[in-house]
Amino acid sequence: MVKRTTRLALALLALVAIIALAWRSMHESAPPPRAVAAAAGPKELRFAPGSPQLNFIKVEPVVLLPEPLLDPLSARVAYDENHTARVSSPIAGRVTRILAEPGDRVAAGQLLAVLDAPDFAAAIADVDKSAADLQLKQRAFGRAGELFQAGVIARKDFEATESDVRQSEAEHTRAKQRLRNLDRGLSRSAAGAFELRAPIAGVVAERSINPGVEVRPDLPNPLFVITDPTHLWVIVDLPERNLGAVKLKQDVVVEVDAYPKERFPAKVTSIGEVLDPATRRVQVRCILDNPKRLLKPEMYARVTPLAGKQDPLPRIANSALITEGLYSFVFVEKEPGVFERKRVELGLQGRSVSYVKSGLTEGARVVTGGALLLNSELASVD
């Protein structure tokens, strides 16, 4: 009985050994797909379709862009003050009507608001009163001249009437200038009401009044801001160390987070004459055309000064670079699943992107994600 049990146990052990050897042989004969060196050269990797490594590889085409002089500089978008008007009331009064809302497009001279302004009505009355007084003094001066010629009155009486006329003329001129200063072509009298009108054509960007609000000429904020949104300024706080790289009329490129794939051309129009002693920066102003009205005032932006009229260079993400010693390399996708390592010569190297002087052409598909994985695979193949 014991011998029979022993023989059965040995048979079971032999069966387990045979199954284990068969399982090992099956898996060794079908290894998982991996990269192998291509026959074309030692710096090329070829992956079989469906290889899991391909899921970790990101490829992007190379585009040619003008080479910048500096890394992008922090900036902000602002109103173009040459195409912007800040409208305030030149007289105290109470708002009775508002006829323009933020976002409305207005024409030059269009009515914005109506104010109940007693001082404006008084200015109109002063003009009428001075005109009537002047007319009366002129008639008296005319009669005095006839009487003086006839010898009826003395010269001093004639000269007194002449002086009265000159004083009335001066008073009438003062009253008209006061009314013109309040009016300035922006308002019209309607039963003593002061009508505030737009000085330029544009879009109402801001409004800071409501019906019934009392307004004064010394308010800190304008009642309306009217601007042409197709013209903008970009204000750059340029570090002192980079001052020599920016020139008047230099071309720059503006980028914003809202449109990551858009590059807006602009031009330097002003460089500040005074350095801020606290920040060690100087203010640079660029002018930018905004025909699609994509950019908005007070947006944060990045401004990149360009290096003149040079030929554009390929721009790649720094994640695509493999550095070995003094040299830099990238992986280029020759066809789906086939990657070649190429040496490149770099120009400007920024915080996130670099420009390639040689080694790449426009349209080449460069690995921007997974380059380190490919480099390790290539080392294992070698």
The CATH class given to the 73-82+228-305 domain equals mainly beta
Say what percent of the chain tops pLDDT 90: 30
Give the mean model confidence (pLDDT) for residues 126-137. 84
Give the mean model confidence (pLDDT) for residues 83-112. 91
Give start and end residues of each alpha helix (H) in the chain: 2-29, 118-149, 155-183, 371-381
Residue 205: its pLDDT value, please? 94
Could you say which of 3.40.1390.10, 3.40.140.10, 3.40.50.10860, 2.40.420.20 is the CATH number of the domain covering 36-67+312-381?
2.40.420.20
More confident residue, 146 or 285: 285
Angle, helix 118-149 to helix 155-183, in steps of 10 degrees: 160
Residue 246 CA to residue 256 CA, distance in Å, equals 20
Residue 48 CA to residue 218 CA, distance in Å, equals 76
Residue 17: its pLDDT value, please? 60
Q: Are 249 and 108 in contact (CB under 8 A)?
A: no
Domain layout of the chain by residue ranges: 36-67+312-381, 73-82+228-305
Residue 306 CA to residue 268 CA, distance in Å, equals 11
- Using pLDDT thresholds of 50, 70 and 90, give the confidence band for residue 8: low
pTM of the prediction? 0.63
CB-based contacts of 295, cutoff 8 Å, min separation 6:
77, 232, 254, 256, 264, 288, 301
The Cβ of residue 30 has, within 10 Å, a number of other Cβ atoms equal to 7
Q: Taking 80 as the threshold, does the pLDDT of residue 138 lie above it?
A: yes
Give the mean model confidence (pLDDT) for residues 214-237. 93
Q: Tokens 């269009």 correspond to what residue?
A: 110
Q: What is the largest CA-CA distance in the chain?
A: 174
Buried b (16+ CB within 10 A) or exposed e, 225-251: bbbbbebbbbebbbeeebeeebeeebb
Buried b (16+ CB within 10 A) or exposed e, 51-64: eebbeebebeebeb
Give start and end residues of each alpha helix (H) in 155-294: 155-183
